[in-house]
């Protein structure tokens, strides 16, 4: 696809700007999200039209004009071509997600990771998703396992409204429970000692919130899916670097633990990686 994009762009763009075009972009439902550089800004429409030719289902092209930021992990978007909208319906792993890509966090790049976690869930499990967004991890788990309940917390009111809609769209009523609030407070108020598994898909807060994740477990036993960002120079292993930090925290908390699995989920910048650790807590 990247080669095809470059080949088609070569027909409509001056040669000197071709190397400045980002050849990766996200498609969420029928919306493509691209990034433009100083050099490619004036060619936004041509790039957008080319993407719409390659992906016949894409109706809208938006340009990301800020990094993902703030507590809600959202980004600024500008309309480039097609229908001017930010709400779409995205299909993934037999699930449907309604999402406003400007008001809520959403990444199609985590689809493999969502299924990887879903496959580990045993019948009857109670799960807490501390940073649930529009409910993607929770709904993929509900539709692909026999989990009993997935308490799904998010601090962004818009994300929780879309999560409620997604619960309806995917008919997982009573199994995925959307909850608006700060994960720390919600856990202290109503989820302590309830779960067998916890998801922490917010790298920026995972370290700080790890004690609250552990407090959701029945008898302090369960599995945490812990996400973090890590910098790793050539020759360094980002997974091992995250492990060392987590060990320090777990030892301070005086809990037994075993690392079940770790991997780089995706690379997020030069030498920056998103890492997941599956950690078994043993009381």
Q: Of the ranges 102-110, 169-177, 233-241, 255-263, which one interacts with ligand SAM (CB under 6 A)?
A: 102-110
Is 154 a binding residue for ligand SAM by CB under 6 A? The answer is yes
- Residue closer to ligand SAM (CB basis): 49 or 100: 100
User: Tokens 């299909």 map to which residue?
Assistant: 91
Helices (H) and strands (E) in the chain, counts: 9, 13
Is 110 a binding residue for ligand SAM by CB under 6 A? The answer is yes
For residue 36, the minimal CB distance to ligand SAM (Å) is 23
In a 3-state reduction of DSSP, which class is residue 76?
A: coil
Is 100 a binding residue for ligand SAM by CB under 6 A? The answer is no
Going through the chain in order, the beta strands assigned E by DSSP cover 26-28, 31-34, 60-64, 77-82, 87-92, 95-100, 126-129, 149-154, 176-180, 197-200, 221-231, 257-269, 272-282
Among 48, 39, 204, which Cα is nearest to 130's?
204
Q: Which parts of 170-209 interact with ligand SAM (CB under 6 A)?
A: 182-183, 201-202, 205
Among 183, 125, 173, 123, which Cα is nearest to 153's?
183
Is 128 a binding residue for ligand SAM by CB under 6 A? The answer is no
For residue 74, the minimal CB distance to ligand SAM (Å) is 8
- Residue closer to ligand SAM (CB basis): 133 or 222: 133
Is 29 a binding residue for ligand SAM by CB under 6 A? The answer is no
β-pair type (221-231, 272-282): antiparallel
Is 102 a binding residue for ligand SAM by CB under 6 A? The answer is no
For residue 230, the minimal CB distance to ligand SAM (Å) is 16
Q: Which of 127, 128, 136, 276 binds ligand SAM (CB under 6 A)?
A: 136
In a 3-state reduction of DSSP, which class is residue 79?
A: strand
For residue 154, the minimal CB distance to ligand SAM (Å) is 5
Among 9, 54, 57, 58, which Cα is nearest to 36's?
9
- Residue closer to ligand SAM (CB basis): 31 or 132: 132
In a 3-state reduction of DSSP, which class is residue 189?
A: helix
Is 81 a binding residue for ligand SAM by CB under 6 A? The answer is no
Q: Which residues bind ligand SAM (CB under 6 A)?
A: 71-73, 105-107, 110, 131-133, 136-137, 153-156, 159, 182-183, 201-202, 205
């Amino acid at each position: 696809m990247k080669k095809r994009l470059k080949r088609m762009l070569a027909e409509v763009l001056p040669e000197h700007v071709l190397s400045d075009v980002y050849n990766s972009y996200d498609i969420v439902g029928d919306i493509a999200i691209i990034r433009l550089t100083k050099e490619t800004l004036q060619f936004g429409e041509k790039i957008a039209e080319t993407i719409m030719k390659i992906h016949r289902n894409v109706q809208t092209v938006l340009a990301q004009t800020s990094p993902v930021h703030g507590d809600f992990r959202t980004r600024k978007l500008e309309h480039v071509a097609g229908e001017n909208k930010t709400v779409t319906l995205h299909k993934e792993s037999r699930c449907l997600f309604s999402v406003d890509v400007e008001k809520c966090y959403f990444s199609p790049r985590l689809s493999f990771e969502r299924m990887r976690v879903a496959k580990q869930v045993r019948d009857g499990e109670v799960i807490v998703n501390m940073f649930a967004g529009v409910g993607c991890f929770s709904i993929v788990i509900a539709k692909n396992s026999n989990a009993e309940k997935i308490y799904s917390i998010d601090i962004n009111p818009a994300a929780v409204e879309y999560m409620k809609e997604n619960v309806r769209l995917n008919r997982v009523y009573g199994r995925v429970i959307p909850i608006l609030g700060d994960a720390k407070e919600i856990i202290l108020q109503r989820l302590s000692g309830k779960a067998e598994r916890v998801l922490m898909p917010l790298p920026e807060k995972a370290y700080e919130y790890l004690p609250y994740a552990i407090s959701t477990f029945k008898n302090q036993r369960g599995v945490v899916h812990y996400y973090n960002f890590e910098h790793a120079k050539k020759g360094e292993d980002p997974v091992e670097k995250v492990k060392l930090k987590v060990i320090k925290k777990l030892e301070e908390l005086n809990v037994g633990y075993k690392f079940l699995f770790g991997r780089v989920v995706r690379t997020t910048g030069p030498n920056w990686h998103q890492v997941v650790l599956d950690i078994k807590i043993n009381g």
